[in-house]
């Protein structure tokens, strides 16, 4: 495992930081995802970077990789309990971003992730 900080906040930022991990987690929290679906859902990410990020997230216990030996074989990525526990943090980060944009007059440029809101995830899971 990569050497992670002993400071909890820094450790958290090391694990979920970077350009793509929150986007990946956003999709995986909605349910199991195949690599091709993740790549289509995250414009701009290369397959190489996506695979690298998925491996890091698996190593840190956020997702699990399941190989299906069907014909043709395929792989799905799902959130672990630890990964699912980040959902409230992601809600808080999104809400903070909205508040910051409104406070600075930049809210008209925001792209809202309504499908990510906790109440929408709960309704989808039910």
Task: List strands edge to edge, sheet with 74-79.
Answer: 33-34, 74-79, 63-68
Question: Given a cut of 80, is residue 67 above it in pLDDT?
Answer: yes
Residues 6+ apart with CB under 8 A from 101: 107, 109, 110
Q: Which pLDDT score is estimated for 48?
A: 97
Domains by residue range for the chain, with CATH: 1-82 (1.10.10.10), 86-126 (no CATH)
pLDDT-derived band at 94, boundaries 50, 70, 90: confident
In this structure, are residues 83 and 16 in contact, taking their beta carbons and an 8 Å threshold? no
Question: Given a cut of 70, is residue 119 above it in pLDDT?
Answer: no
Q: Which pLDDT score is estimated for 45?
A: 95
The arithmetic mean of pLDDT across residues 4-16, rounded, is 95
By DSSP bridging, strand 33-34 and strand 63-68 are unpaired
- Looking at residue 42, the DSSP 8-state letter turns out to be S
């Amino acid at each position: 495992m990569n050497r992670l900080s002993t400071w909890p906040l820094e450790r958290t930022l090391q694990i979920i930081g970077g350009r793509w991990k929150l986007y990946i987690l956003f999709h995986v929290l909605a349910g199991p995802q195949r690599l091709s679906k993740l790549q289509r859902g995250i414009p701009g990410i290369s397959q190489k970077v996506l695979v690298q990020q998925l491996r890091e997230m698996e190593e840190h216990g956020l997702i699990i990789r399941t190989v299906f030996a069907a014909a043709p074989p395929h792989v799905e990525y799902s959130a672990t309990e630890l990964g699912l526990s980040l959902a409230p943090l992601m809600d808080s980060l999104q809400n903070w971003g909205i508040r910051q944009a409104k406070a600075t007059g930049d809210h008209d440029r925001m792209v809202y992730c309504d499908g990510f809101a906790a109440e929408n995830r709960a309704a989808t899971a039910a």
